[in-house]
Amino acid sequence: MASGVDTLAALYGGLLTALSPGNLLACLAGAFLGQLVGIVPGIGPVGGIALLLPMIYGQEPVAALIMLAGIYYGAMYGGTVTSVLMKIPGENSSVLTALEGYEMARAGRAGAALGIAAFGSFIAGNVGMLLLALFIVPLSAVAVGFGSVEYAALMCFALSAVSVLAAEAAVKGLISAVMGLALATVGLDSGTGALRFTFGIPELVEGIDFVVVAIGLFALPELCAIVERRGAGALLERHGYGRLRDLWPSVADWRRSAWPIARGSLIGFATGVLPGAGATIAAFLSYGAEKRLSRRPEAFGRGAIEGVAGPESANNGAVAGSLVPMLAFGIPGSATTAILLTGFTIVGIQPGPRLFVDHGPVAWALIASMLVGNLILLLLNVPLIGLSVQLLRLPANVMVATVVMVAAVGVFSLRTSLFDLWVLLLSGVVGYVMHKVRMPAAPLLLSLVLAPLFERNLRRSLELGGAPIFLERPVALALLALSLAIWLWPVVARLLARRAR
Amino acid sequence: MGASVLDRPVAVALTAAGLVYFWLASRLLVSDGPGSALFPMAVGAVWVGGSVRYLLGAWLRPAGDRGAWAELGREVRQATVYLLLPLACYLALLPWLGYPAATWGCAAWMIRTLSERPRHPLVPMAQGALVAGVLYLVFGGLLGVALPRAALAG
């Protein structure tokens, strides 16, 4: 196991790699593009990274991964801008920023809201990066000892967590997850060589492309929601935003935000590590904590800066946390990290226990690039705010048409397949219906990614010793018990609440 | 659980889809053996179980009133007419017209139909051309993607 000094030395080496001109440029481009796609309503981080995935073809692995990571946190921050200025959260984790930040904007303090969100994100991102660097190597060492049985149980846990935590009703999360698993069984079965559910369609032999489904599920329903509100005119309402250029929060703002940022960073990282919990739950936990701890809880909902600082820090801390299961175990914990995993596959790197052994310099450069990326993002914010405002003043019709065309051409560019475009449309329709019945799309996407690995490990485990083998391995048994506990928790909580009443 | 007027029909559709999936998976058992069929069958069983639970939950709640259905109908019509249908037409025409013409036409059509106030027809056409042109430059030029050519042009 690496000591603290080894970790620091590896991180320093990674930083030097990340600071090389090519990688720095990749990071800058990623953060810039990420922020732009994050600002455009209807794309968000998942759709944004999926759309920009073709950009990494032909690049060096380090530069490609640094660019993807830059897009990730750039898109996360981009959602903040739309939340504060338009009350349209770019993603679920920005809902609370939309609540408090928009109220601040209405009071002429949009600059302070955006500024504290930017500084909070910067601090939380770097705290998360340091925690990630500290924990990742010991965790990878634990993961090396995992066999098929433990992996199958871990994936069962991840899917259970994402199904229950991502949905307001566990059964909807479960159905979403099984639909993803079912979609993943389409195509050639790598274990037996049999063709499953292809119905004689040659394009289905290779299976359904996960990125295409991601864009359809996440981008199209959001665009449909904008079209439903047709009549709203330009997306950005015109009212006083105060001094937008003045992004430096005042001393009083800092005093009120320092602890929320510190707490949000830690809550975010810890929550991000859990599969399925991610940035949204982190933001809500942080908001709840700040409201409880505040001396003026009545100010929340009316533009409290703590309500921006805490959740924004938490959702950025969660970005670093969500990289932990992906880098250590090769298992993405969120829809966004699932797309990042595809990016790793494109450049020929398999995240997981062997990552730091086989591709140590690349992995450390990626982690260190978060520091550089966060700094770039902070520096970009000032000049980009003006551009963001102009972008948001684009009429909705032009923006919707552009995003639809970007989605279509982006999907086509993945495999130059016209069939994928029909899959995009179908995924969009399914996503729209899911949106209408409040069924989360993240479990579907995550299970679509995890299914092949889950089936392979499950099959191998059953060949090794049948179902009882899961009871013989303590780690697998513990993970299965945790999965069961996750499913039972909503029922138990309901019973406890009823008894308390 | 947040109720939606669509819960009942969606639950019925999901249960039916789950049953069809399970039936197709069970046929794999005969044609390809348990190795290929076991996982999909287990997934199908959980799908059907979950959907039945969802169906029961949806049926136990009060059904949506006429106003909620009318509102939903309006929203779905807007999304279908202004976004999903143009996209479907675009996909159908893309192989025949090729990337530049199809993208230009679709973008211009969407910009025009989604417009808040009547504009001169040349405005959406110019905006559509700009969208198609910029995307062509980025994907076709910078990224080297072989964008579809018009079958009609031979």
To test the contact with chain A by mutation, choose from B43, B80, B125 the residue with the greatest count of A C-beta atoms within 10 A, namely B43
pLDDT of B21: 96
A453 has a chain B CB within 8 A of its CB: no
Q: Is the pLDDT of residue B85 over 80?
A: yes
Q: Please, how many CA atoms are within 13 Å of residue A453, restricted to the half-sphere of its CB? A: 24
A172 contact residues in B (CB cutoff 8 A): 1, 54
Query: Which chain B residues have a beta carbon less than 8 Å from that of A171?
Result: 50, 53-54, 57
Contact between B36 and A194 using a beta-carbon 8 Å cutoff: yes
- How many angstroms separate the CA atoms of B153 and B30, rounded? 48
pLDDT at A107: 80
Residues 47-106 (B) with a CB less than 8 A from some CB of A: 47, 50-51, 53-54, 57, 72, 75-76, 78-79, 82-84, 86-88, 90-91, 94-95, 99, 103, 106
Instruction: Quote ipTM for the complex.
Output: 0.91
CB A370 within 8 A of CB A125: yes
pLDDT for the residue numbered A382: 64
Measure Cα distances from B140 to A3, A356, A387, B91 in Å: 49, 37, 26, 18
pLDDT of A247 reads 60
Q: Which of A341, A329, A325, A376 is nearest to A25 (CA)?
A: A376
A233·B54 Cβ contact <8 A: no
Cβ contacts of B99 on chain A, cutoff 8 Å = 409
Residue of B nearest to A229 (CA): B75
Cα–Cα dist A322/A345, whole Å: 18
> Number of C-alpha atoms within 13 angstroms, CB side, residue A440?
29
Per CB-CB distance under 8 Å, the chain A contacts of B53 are 171
- The most confident of the ranges A146-150, B48-52, B79-83 is B48-52
Q: Is B28 on the interface with A (CB under 8 A)?
A: yes
- What does the pLDDT average to over B56-79? 82
Q: Which residues of B touch A182 (CB under 8 A)?
A: 21, 40, 43-44, 47
For residue A206, what is the enclosing H or E element?
A: none
> For position B153, what pLDDT does the model report?
60
What is residue A1's predicted lDDT score, i.e. its pLDDT?
A: 47
Q: How far apart are CA A213 and CA A449, in angstroms?
A: 11
Tokens in use for B13? 């559709």
DSSP string, A341-389: HHHHHHTT---STTHHHHSHHHHHHHHHHHHHHHHHHHHHHHHHHHHHH
Q: Name the strand (E) or helix (H) holding B142.
A: none
pTM for this predicted structure: 0.81
Burial of A57 (0-12, 13-18, 19+ CB in 10 A): middle
Whether A497 contacts chain B with CB within 8 A? no
Beta bridge partners of A196: A187
Strand partners for A187: A196
* CB-CB under 8 Å, A227 with B54: no
Residues of chain B contacting A406 with CB distance shorter than 8 Å: 135
Pick out chain A residues at pLDDT < 70: 1-3, 41-43, 86, 88-92, 167, 230-247, 276-277, 382-386, 388-392
Binning pLDDT at 50, 70 and 90, where does residue B118 land?
confident
Phi (first) and psi of residue A405, to 5 degrees: -65, -40
